[in-house]
Amino acid sequence: MTTAVLLIRRLHQHRNWVNQHLLAAAADLDEEPLRRTFAIGQGSIWASLLHLYAAEYVWLETLQGNQSGLLPGDLPGKLPGNQQGTGGVTGMAELQRDWAALQVRWEEYLDSLTDKQLEQPVYRASSRVNSGQPIATSRSDVLLHVCTHAQYTTAQVVNMFRQCGVESLPPTMLIALARQEAAG
């Protein structure tokens, strides 16, 4: 029997699978295309990958009860506009290492998740919304948001890869993951 938690876990498994492919494709790029400016997403492949990582970090912190968690290395009030912080991550090896550690935390969280917990509210304080007062959102909506946000940003990154001339674009569709698993 498929439960809501199993579906959530599957979506997050897909999110992680896509992340691994994005990181592998980005690791093959030189610094110039990695940081080339585009009029899409966060403005570069590098900044978009950092944005994905930071969003996953912040939302996991929120799910675990930290209402105003930031990526380590970011300081509140120090980023102009909606600019995403870097958490002090400056290179691809660091990003791969830190994201792998974050994924372990996600897996531990998702493994302990129950259907009953999905409708519980979680609270997130944001200086951009509601004057910093915590806003309640159902746990299920946050978990779904992390995956839909990742898919949206992934499409932007793939577009940037295409514009950089990457010939073998990373797979991103859930059906591709399912077919890979079925092929063994």
Given a cut of 90, whether residue 108 has pLDDT beyond it is yes
Closest CA relative to residue 170, chosen from 15, 63, 18, 33: 18
- pLDDT, tens digit, 9 for 90 and up, residues 123-143: 998 767 777 789 999 999 999
Given a cut of 50, whether residue 77 has pLDDT beyond it is no
Query: What pLDDT is recorded for position 127?
Result: 62
Residue 149, annotated as binding a ligand: yes
Given a cut of 50, whether residue 79 has pLDDT beyond it is no
- Tell me the pLDDT of the chain averaged across its residues: 90
Residue 51, annotated as binding a ligand: yes
Measure CA of the first residue to CA of the last residue in the chain; give whole Å.
Answer: 23
Read off the pTM. 0.90
Q: Where are the domains of the chain?
A: 4-183
Please give the CATH number for the structural domain made up of 4-183.
1.20.120.450
Contact yes or no for 85/73 (Cβ under 8 A)? yes
- pLDDT, tens digit, 9 for 90 and up, residues 9-51: 999 999 999 999 999 999 999 999 999 999 999 999 999 999 9
